[in-house]
Amino acid sequence: MRSQPGWCRSMAIGVLAIGLSLGQVLADEPETAEQAREQLQATEAEIKQLREVLKGLQQEMSGLQRELQESESDIGRLQRESRELEQQIKDGEVRLEELRRDNQRLELALESQHEQIARQARAAYMAGDQDYLKVLLNQDDPARMARMLRYYQQVSQARVRELDQYRATLSEIRETREATVRQQQRLQDNRTQLEERTAAVEQEQRQRSRLLTRLREQEGSQTRQLETQQAERKALNDLIERLDRAITSIPTPAGSLPFAEAKGKLPLPVEGPVKARFGSQRGEDERLRWDGLLIGAEEGTPVHAIHGGRVVFAEWLRGSGLLLILDHGQGYLSLYGHNESLLHEVGTWVQPGEAVATVGSSGGQAIAGLYFAIRHQGRALDPMAWCMLSS
């Protein structure tokens, strides 16, 4: 079995294969359909390679670590699906309210049309069946008779149009009512699915809690904990080093603000108290220091990109949990760890302020919070020198 840094390097290479492949696809637009197919096939091949690397990685982790990865990844997926269902329910409720208003409007229109037709029917009845012929036959002036004929024809056509409109309104009401029933059923289906996802999340969270207890028992002494934390840091540093070497050739979008020029003006990725600052002691051993920030926030809170960039890593990593890394060009990276769920895949361009993840406690954390770091050519930078504190 290879050491922790070994499998981390393998994973980094696999992830970079996708990042670089997608980067090349996005940077160089194909000129022909054949070139586009070749680029797509190359990208799919790299994705397949990454899956094989990750499969090997899972086999090399300890059983408990692998179970924790699966559990936290499942929680992230279920939470993401739950939020999508919640949004569908909100949209569905808006649509249902629109249908109800449409139905009320049509009912009022139908009532008005019904009254108009009834008035015309009563007037025709009071005039008698022979009124039309009497008026025409009693006209001595041919021109006047022609005008009266046109008048009665127009009245008759108007009545036909009103009857047609009445029938059309009835049909529209029927369609609106049917659409309302369908929308109500979709809402019910979505609510049922949301309840199922919620129950599944609760079950996975209980499983995760049991796994964390077993992992902490396995780690045991303070020495063992230190070794674990050092291995986790080594894994992350090794990943960053590999990413930094490989992504120097990935171009940034034309016209985008260079990351270096935004120093001191960047927002923090999430609002909340800073629980741990750059350089502060990490854990009980003074030899370990924070290379970023730990920001407290409620689970599920959106995590926003501090600057535009490309996703070069979006995967579970031991010690960091569900980790997303953005490349901002010029050797600058921003890292977002311990997430509940990741919202983008490798190769995706994101805009400044765009949600990229949600706050969680993955990676074996006891409480929810965001690990946030900035690197330049592999060197850790103090995020507080780059970001503004929210007022």
Q: Which range is least confidently modeled, 34-48, 147-161, 172-186, 305-319?
A: 34-48
Summarize the confidence of residues 55-78 as an average pLDDT: 64
138 and 227 both lie in a single domain = no
Q: In angstroms, rounded to a whole number, what is the distance separating the alpha carbons of residues 320 and 232? A: 8
Q: What pLDDT sits at residue 92?
A: 80
274 and 239 both lie in a single domain = yes
By percentage, how much of the chain surpasses pLDDT 90? Answer: 20
Domain stops at, among 199, 228, 250: 199
Domain stops at, among 199, 234, 260: 199
Summarize the confidence of residues 133-144 as an average pLDDT: 53
Q: What pLDDT sits at residue 93?
A: 83
Q: In angstroms, rounded to a whole number, what is the distance separating the alpha carbons of residues 24 and 272? A: 37
Backbone dihedral angles phi then psi of residue 191, each to the nearest 5 degrees? -65, -40
189 and 260 both lie in a single domain = no
Residue 340: inside a domain: yes
137 and 256 both lie in a single domain = no
Q: What pLDDT sits at residue 316?
A: 86
Residue 243: inside a domain: yes
pLDDT at position 303 over 70: yes
Backbone dihedral angles phi then psi of residue 310, each to the nearest 5 degrees? -110, 140
Residue 82: inside a domain: no
- 26: confidence class by pLDDT, cuts 50, 70, 90: very low
By percentage, how much of the chain surpasses pLDDT 70? Answer: 57
353 and 235 both lie in a single domain = yes
pLDDT in tens, 321-339: 899 999 998 889 999 999 9
| Residue 271 · residue 297 · CB < 8 Å | yes
| Residue 251 · residue 27 · CB < 8 Å | yes
Summarize the confidence of residues 194-220 as an average pLDDT: 71
Domain stops at, among 165, 199, 233: 199
Overall size of the chain counted in residues: 391
Residue 311: inside a domain: yes
Backbone dihedral angles phi then psi of residue 327, each to the nearest 5 degrees? -95, 120
- 385: confidence class by pLDDT, cuts 50, 70, 90: very high
pLDDT at position 348 over 70: yes
- Count of structural domains, the chain: 2
pLDDT at position 391 over 90: no
229 and 378 both lie in a single domain = yes
Q: What pLDDT sits at residue 25?
A: 36
299 and 229 both lie in a single domain = yes
Residue 159: inside a domain: yes
Backbone dihedral angles phi then psi of residue 86, each to the nearest 5 degrees? -60, -40
Q: In angstroms, rounded to a whole number, what is the distance separating the alpha carbons of residues 176 and 190? A: 21
Mean pLDDT in the chain? Answer: 72
Q: What pLDDT sits at residue 64?
A: 65
pLDDT at position 21 over 50: no
Q: Which range is least confidently modeled, 23-32, 114-123, 213-222, 229-238?
A: 23-32
Please, how many CA atoms are within 13 Å of residue 167, restricted to the half-sphere of its CB?
Answer: 5
Residue 68: inside a domain: no
Residue 205: inside a domain: no
49 and 94 both lie in a single domain = no
Q: Which residues contact 110 (CB under 8 A, 6 or more apart)?
A: 166, 169, 170, 173
pLDDT at position 238 over 60: yes
Q: In angstroms, rounded to a whole number, what is the distance separating the alpha carbons of residues 71 and 265? A: 37
pLDDT at position 35 over 70: no
Summarize the confidence of residues 32-39 as an average pLDDT: 56
The more confident residue out of 130 and 302 is 302
Q: In angstroms, rounded to a whole number, what is the distance separating the alpha carbons of residues 305 and 325? A: 10
Which contiguous run of DSSP H or E holds residue 332? strand 332-342
97 and 52 both lie in a single domain = no
The more confident residue out of 143 and 47 is 143
Strand partners, 266: 387
- 82: confidence class by pLDDT, cuts 50, 70, 90: confident
Summarize the confidence of residues 118-124 as an average pLDDT: 65
Q: In angstroms, rounded to a whole number, what is the distance separating the alpha carbons of residues 373 and 16? A: 20
155 and 227 both lie in a single domain = no
374 and 249 both lie in a single domain = yes
Residue 295: inside a domain: yes
The more confident residue out of 176 and 305 is 305
Three-state DSSP string of the chain = CCCHHHHHHHHHHHHHHHHHHHHHHHHCCCCCHHHHHHHHHHHHHHHHHHHHHHHHHHHHCCHHHHHHHHHHHHHHHHHHHHHHHHHHHHHHHHHHHHHHHHHHHHHHHHHHHHHHHHHHHHHHHHHCCCHHHHHHHCCCCHHHHHHHHHHHHHHHHHHHHHHHHHHHHHHHHHHHHHHHHHHHHHHHHHHHHHHHHHHHHHHHHHHHHHHHHHHHHHHCCHHHHHHHHHHHHHHHHHHHHHHHHHHHHCCCCCCCCCHHHHCCCEECCCCCCEEECCCCECCCCCCCECCCEEECCCCCCEEECCCCEEEEEEEEECCCEEEEEEEEECCEEEEEEEEEEECCCCCCEECCCCEEEEEECCCCCCCCEEEEEEEECCEEECHHHCEECCC
Q: Which range is least confidently modeled, 32-36, 62-66, 240-244, 377-381?
A: 32-36
Summarize the confidence of residues 102-122 as an average pLDDT: 73
Question: By residue range, what is the domain housing residue 307?
Answer: 4-60+220-388
Q: What pLDDT sits at residue 6?
A: 38
25 and 164 both lie in a single domain = no
Give buried/exposed letters for 212-228 (b at 16+ CB in 10 A, else e): beebeeebeeeeebbeb
